[in-house]
Amino acid sequence: MPQWRGKLEKIDEYRWLIPRSYKPGMRVDGLIYANAQMLNHIIDDQAPEQVANVACLPGIVGRSLAMPDIHWGYGFAIGGVAAMRVSDGVISPGGVGFDINCGVRILRTNLTKEEVMPKIKELVDALFNAVPSGVGSQGAVKLRAGEIDEVLVKGSRWAVARGYGRREDLDTTEENGEMKGVDPSTVSGRAKERGAPQLGTLGSGNHFLEAAFVDEIYDAAAAKAMGIERLGQVMLYVHCGSRGLGHQVAVDYIKTMLKAMPRYGIEVPDKQLACVPVKAPEGQAYLAAMRGAANYAWANRQCITHWVRQAFCRVMGISESEAGLQLIYDVTHNIAKIEEHMVDGKPEQLCVHRKGATRAFPAGHPDLPRKYAATGQPVLVPGDMGRMSYILAGTEKAMRETFGSTCHGAGRMASRSAMKKQLSGRDVLNDLAARGVIVRAGSLPGLAEEAPEAYKDVTEVVGVAHGAGISKKVARTRPMAVVKG
């Protein structure tokens, strides 16, 4: 890991500049969103070096950006945002990540904490049993031969057509849960082989299901548009991604791009930034495969949502209409998208990489559902198992500064291996129980990796995003019960 030897020039309370002069090859400045208290960890983590490296990529415009949850990742820092011109810029799998379309969704319920808490242990057991979790877990969805290609093309629409959810779920899913421009032939047989039996599974790592209650409302109008009506209202989170299929797509195309770069005369400061021109055949093939993996992830979360609804209603002894359980929104935070943004006063087609970053489009943007036209896109920012999570909304300032992007979570403070040395899974389980949070996990060592101490304080992260104006606070939730993958 290269040592960060540069300076971060303070622009204001929330913005820190890495000037182009920091290292040869930087085409634009870097910009990190953080407060002064967060800087020491960010520097120790060496992530600014990755922000500077990304600034060297061909076709990058604006600045190489890092959200306040920034930490070291594969090539690109997690929390990174980079936009490249489609005309002469590149696309990089490292700018998307291995868990393509890892994302989060929230269901709002009609019930309160007081109504759910007496059955919380029964509920977390029901959720744990309903949704397979853990490394390599396999799901209840059985695909017929070749049907995986339909999942890749149709995404959430495939799941709803199979009875896993409601038609209106598609309206409140980013991209309606179905990115266009998929070519199943660009996804390898190995990727399909890994993905087919895993559809409808949570996976492992930081993936989770959570029952939480609203403990603060900051923007009553935006909250009302989302169906968040009162303190104590119970929400259900689903956080997972594209499982082995997405991972295999990333592995396949990193190899492809490493071989192809010399042909296009591309040199990068770190081979983990392997990339090719967006318009090159390899770039177009990756985009087509990545979109298929993204659609798989949306279908995955849609299937899980169906079982979460069933489990919640069964335990609470009520119907779905009585329970509410409307999908507030589903966002992806590992993706590359072709979007139009203003660059130097002119509209430009860009390939926007968001890796551990969330789209945050403002009120009035044509890509938003009608119900959020006046309030902006919901932005879902989970914290850790023991503290809070936040629901935000997109802003105009995000469009001007960050290509319509903001943070995606708390951001890691300590590696998984470091946490396993410090804590046992039993320690974490007991600590969370003392905080009033019931946890079920298939693996106790895996639970230690995801202890609250492994993460930054999400309140501080969200405070920077809100203070900088790249998203605005709407509501806050606290966990009651967690199923950990």
> Annotated active-site positions, please?
408
CA distance to 98, 266, 285, per residue, from 262 (Å)? 23, 6, 18
Does residue 323 contact residue 310 with C-beta atoms inside 8 Å? Answer: no
* Number of other CB atoms surrounding residue 279 within 10 Å: 14
* Integer CA distances (angstroms), 379 to 33, 43, 77, 173, 473, in order: 17, 27, 20, 12, 9
Cα separation, 329 vs 331, in Å, equals 7
Alpha carbon distance 473, 405 (integer Å): 14
Helices (H), 334-424: 396-401, 416-422
The amino acid that residue 310 corresponds to is: Q
Q: Which helix (H) or strand (E) holds 330?
A: strand 324-332
CA distance 411 to 70: 6
CA-based end-to-end distance of the chain: 29
Dist. CA 165–CA 303, nearest whole Å: 7
Between strands 60-71 and 30-33, the pairing is: parallel
Angle of the 281-316 helix axis to the 147-154 helix axis, nearest 10: 90
3-state secondary structure of 49: helix
